[in-house]
Amino acid sequence: MSVMKIIWKHTKPWIFPLGVTSIYGLCQLHDPQSTARAIEVSKTLFTQLGLPICIVLVMMTLINRYLNPASVARFLGSKTGIKGVFLSGLAGILSMGPIYAWYPLFKSLKEKGASTFIIANFIGCRSVKPVLLPIMLAYFGWQFSTVFVLINLLGAMGTAYVVGVVCGATKIE
């Protein structure tokens, strides 16, 4: 590896922060009062979102470490009853990555006897993401966030019921 490639590899991550710092420096020379206000607003925004973003990173790391399609398949098999409804919702909430990556698992579960309701509930509950809750709470507060999440979960179950009825599975197994 050439010396320039090594230097580029180590300096590339610093280009944006150094660029922003340079722009703030130039603005400081031109209009010190406005620059001081801008830095204060940036500091306030960082302190408001710093903790929620740290919580998000920890949650994403834990979820990616301990939840995978194989563990989901174990809990969402056939004839799981109310436990399966709860677990499919929880698994949908905690699942990460693109939805199409989960489709082979859904097909396999369906072939092994999982109900259409369970699969549809899993897909519907994916709209609630716990890693985004701290940021939602920071922006909108507890009341909005709680109502929003509950309505999403009830909507997922309603949608799953309709999908189950339309697809011929009229009961939750």
pLDDT tens by residue, 58-85: 766 776 677 666 666 666 655 667 887 8
Q: Is the pLDDT of residue 98 over 50?
A: yes
118 inside domain:
yes
For residues 56 and 132, the answer to whether their CB atoms sit within 8 Å is yes
41 inside domain:
no
124 inside domain:
yes
154 inside domain:
yes
67 inside domain:
yes
82 inside domain:
yes
Q: Compute the distance between CA of residue 140 and CA of residue 127 in angstroms, rounded to an integer.
A: 17
Residue 44, amino acid: T
Q: Which two tokens stand for residue 133?
A: 């809750």
125: containing domain: 49-166
Percent of the residues in the chain that have a pLDDT greater than 70, as a whole number: 83
Number of domains in the chain: 1
**pTM as predicted:** 0.56
Average pLDDT over residues 76-95: 77
Q: Which two tokens stand for residue 79?
A: 């004839």
Position with higher pLDDT, 71 vs 132? 132
pLDDT value of position 90 = 85
